[in-house]
Amino acid sequence: MAPSGVKIMQSNLASLGRPTVYLAHMIPTNLIAKQIPYTLNATDFPDLGKKYEGKVRDNYTKDGKRVIIVTDRLSAFDRVITTIPFKGQVLNQISEFWFKNTSDIIGNHVIEYPDPNVVIAKECKPLMVEMVVRGYITGVTSTSAWYHYEKGVRNFCGNVLPEGLRKNQRLPKPIITPSTKAEHGGHDESVSGEEILQRGILKKDEWDFLSQAVLRLYQRGVEICAKQGIILVDTKYELGISPSGEIILIDEIHTPDSSRFWFANEYEARLKAGEEQKKIDKEYLREWLADKGFRGEGEVPAIPDEIRVETARRYIEAYELITGQEFKAEVGPVSERLKKNLKV
């Protein structure tokens, strides 16, 4: 039974052999729970090409193209934690929204979207650095700015921070805190721009171009999110070298996995009261794990279904708040739909 007051709208697509489609604000939590057995944890499509498995995305490369399948895996503290219903679809479609709205700032890898969980992209050589931009001082992980600031650090990744900052306070201006990309199973390392150059990860002209581009991307994100009543707190960008030799945006952009978002209308009151901000990102699950004493080391705690369902609800909410569009959840086995749409 759906909760009182919740109306389920089922399309007639099922009679045509296509997935049943629901609108997000009409999806009851028990239906989200029923999707748990159908979440996409792994893929195995050798016909698509050589496979590389990331924390969240499965990549297949062939004939100069990359098929990126966004699974429902959720990572936190640099570890794969569990799967979340509809998460892959949410991430892929949020990125689609942002790639379209930032292509005037920097090019991106997108060729087409053949499935809600899939993007076919240009085959690029990834740069071995993530460009993290922070507009506020916050976080609970060991790589977060607040974690280090609370321990007395005042020069974080080459950025001098003033005394007297409070958790969740807006910084005087956005800062860039680069992170090296760890090998599969390893942990990323926060470094300064100077260290990036010293290690030969980027050349000076590449660093200058990227640092300007990511600050513009962040500002564009801030402006669009502000119109939706939300704050883009911080985010990370991954970039690569395209076949034509250009540096372009790859992977994802301004999603709940790569970014933090807060509700703007409650920000000042919560900051003044010393309360945590109301979030629409995966910080909810990060904090649940941290409360259980898990910060990336040791065995991952078992995640109850109710936590997975609430996380899914927040991801869907994030899609609608960020894009201003209704989310159409495709219910059923994701793997079977992929086989059909990718013709494998």
> What integer pLDDT is reported at residue 26 of this predicted model?
57
> What integer pLDDT is reported at residue 184 of this predicted model?
55
Determine phi and psi for 340, rounding to 5 degrees: -70, -50
Q: From residue 105, how far is each of 189, 226, 250 by CA, in Å?
A: 27, 19, 14
What is the distance between the alpha carbons of residues 320 and 26, in angstroms, rounded to a whole number?
13
Can you read off the two tokens belonging to residue 320? 């609608």
> What integer pLDDT is reported at residue 232 of this predicted model?
97
Q: Which residues pair with 21 in a beta bridge?
A: 330
Contacts of 90 (CB under 8 A, 6+ apart): 255, 256, 315, 316, 318, 319, 327
> What integer pLDDT is reported at residue 25 of this predicted model?
59
Among candidate residues 133, 137, 132, the one with its CA nearest the CA of residue 271: 137
* Count of CB atoms situated within 10 Å of the CB of 257: 22
What is the distance between the alpha carbons of residues 251 and 259, in angstroms, rounded to a whole number?
13
Helices and strands, counts by H and E, the chain: 9, 18
> What integer pLDDT is reported at residue 338 of this predicted model?
98
Can you read off the two tokens belonging to residue 250? 């790859």
- Which mean pLDDT values do the consecutive 10-residue runs of the chain (344 residues) have? 30 37 66 95 97 95 97 93 97 98 98 98 96 95 91 97 98 97 69 97 96 98 96 97 96 94 96 92 85 92 96 92 91 96 96
Contacts of 214 (CB under 8 A, 6+ apart): 131, 133, 176, 237
What is the distance between the alpha carbons of residues 72 and 302, in angstroms, rounded to a whole number?
17
Check whether domain 12-342 has CATH 3.40.50.12780, yes or no = no
> What integer pLDDT is reported at residue 22 of this predicted model?
53
Domain coordinates of the chain in residue numbers?
12-342
Predicted model pTM:
0.87
